[in-house]
Structure 1
């Protein structure tokens, strides 16, 4: 069976450029819907969810930044990669968009091959994160065939309950052991208490999301179940000795440096 085509929403007001991108992406087996402005695209996006959105930054009626901020208010777009096209080389402009949560940039003028590589890269990263943290459909079978490692069972429960902010009492109930036994087993295997282990597990997940292309810090807070933005930021800085915002910037700078070497 053939793999399903990657569905792309392209927003580009320059007709000549938009038509060229559309044709070349179609030739590379992408399913592309092209819109001339953000308002037109927003109507479509309210009804359908693509695999990736690629938008010009500067457009009439609704620019790329406004479009991005509007669709990210809808939870179904929280994990949809968003690539911004721009001719503006100002770092402050780029950092503002990255802080908003845009996954990547492509600078005009560009070669379509570069865009294709970026599309495939962000899609593969998204898939790898989803695969890593999706429950194993055979996990119940595995449990029956052999005793599952305690930490694997623990991590599986944590990942399934990240957003619900599961506490120690609930966690011990899921594992059918007392809180004291749970804490002892965690300390024995990790040299951490249960609270530290749970907090760092959430932070490790946030770090993986950042490396997958996520740039929206508020989204990271929500996805990892932290009670507040400030608690997430404080915990993150204590864990890595750097703020989430500065960590995201360092990842982007490193990525840009690698792109330059490849180019």
Structure 2
């Protein structure tokens, strides 16, 4: 089963340092997008929500401090950890960034292990915050299917692997049945084949996220593990007879 890689946006104008950090993060099994200045980073973040943002503080076009203030105005970035890279040891500047809400600092020159540990620490903090404050969008689904032990077990596995494409052989192995038995049981209980059930399960999750206030379609794609934006949109329309964008507008009008 394909492992989900945490997505990191790196914003660094120093090409030598940026290349070194990029290589380090990739070797540590992160998925990294490297932007060369704050303005470029802001444009990228308008359409993408990573797991962590790492930005140099001092850059000629737009610095990390200005970028942080701009993206924090958007509620979608409230829990996205933001780590600042800086060579400036001035306490006033450091305290100002912490006051604004920056999560952590990496001082140049930095230790490789320090960077990795700080990334992992802020990710764990993010997870704990989301777990505490985010309603479980599958609570009703789980309750509804609780009388079906097989579907309950299947749903529990699907929830844990929403962000990745699930291999049917691995899925059936986790349920201790064969691939053909998996498909037969799903058909018997839902009148859908296993692939359709999994696809619609992911789409139901996307719908719940929309009702919770999510408007970024690319974020929905990433959170549900669809292979592409177009495949998600096509599947969504076939399932609900409306495009994701129109569905979001419909929910906004109702509210």
Q: State the 1:89 CA deviation.
A: 1.0
Q: State the 1:25 CA deviation.
A: 0.4
Q: State the 1:84 CA deviation.
A: 0.4
1:31-73 per-position Cα deviation (integer Å, ceiling 9, x unaligned): 0011111111111111111111100001111111111111111
1:113 equivalent in alignment to 2:138? no
Q: State the 1:138 CA deviation.
A: 4.6
**Aligned partners of 2:14 and 2:134: how far apart in 1?**
40
1:217-262 per-position Cα deviation (integer Å, ceiling 9, x unaligned): xxxxxxxxxxxxxxxxxxxxxxxxxxxxxxxxxxxxxxxxxxxxxx
Q: State the 1:112 CA deviation.
A: 2.0
Give the match for residue 34 of structure 1: 34
What secondary structure, in the 3-state scheme, does the structure 1 residue paired with 2:20 have? helix
1:19 equivalent in alignment to 2:3? no
Give the match for residue 83 of structure 1: 83
Q: State the 1:115 CA deviation.
A: 0.7
What secondary structure, in the 3-state scheme, does the structure 2 residue paired with 1:49 have? coil
For normalisation by structure 1, the TM-score amounts to 0.51
**Match runs of 1:214-229 below 5 Å:** none
**Aligned partners of 1:22 and 1:100: how far apart in 2?**
26
What secondary structure, in the 3-state scheme, does the structure 1 residue paired with 2:97 have? helix
For residues 134 and 72 of structure 1, do their structure 2 counterparts lie closer, same or farther at Cα, with a shift above 3 Å needed? closer
**Aligned partners of 2:44 and 2:69: how far apart in 1?**
16
1:89-138 per-position Cα deviation (integer Å, ceiling 9, x unaligned): 11111110011110111111002221111001000111022223344545
For residues 138 and 46 of structure 1, do their structure 2 counterparts lie closer, same or farther at Cα, with a shift above 3 Å needed? closer
**Aligned partners of 2:45 and 2:19: how far apart in 1?**
20
**Aligned partners of 2:108 and 2:30: how far apart in 1?**
21
**Aligned partners of 1:9 and 1:79: how far apart in 2?**
15
What secondary structure, in the 3-state scheme, does the structure 1 residue paired with 2:83 have? strand
Gaps of 5+ in 2: 148-255
**Match runs of 1:108-257 below 5 Å:** 108-136=108-136, 137-138=138-139, 141=143
What secondary structure, in the 3-state scheme, does the structure 2 residue paired with 1:125 have? helix
For normalisation by structure 2, the TM-score amounts to 0.53
Segments of 4+ moved more than 2 angstroms:
132-142
For residues 9 and 114 of structure 1, do their structure 2 counterparts lie closer, same or farther at Cα, with a shift above 3 Å needed? same
Q: State the 1:82 CA deviation.
A: 0.3
RMSD: 2.1
What secondary structure, in the 3-state scheme, does the structure 2 residue paired with 1:114 have? helix
Q: State the 1:2 CA deviation.
A: 4.3
How many pairs are equivalent? 144
Give the match for residue 44 of structure 1: 44
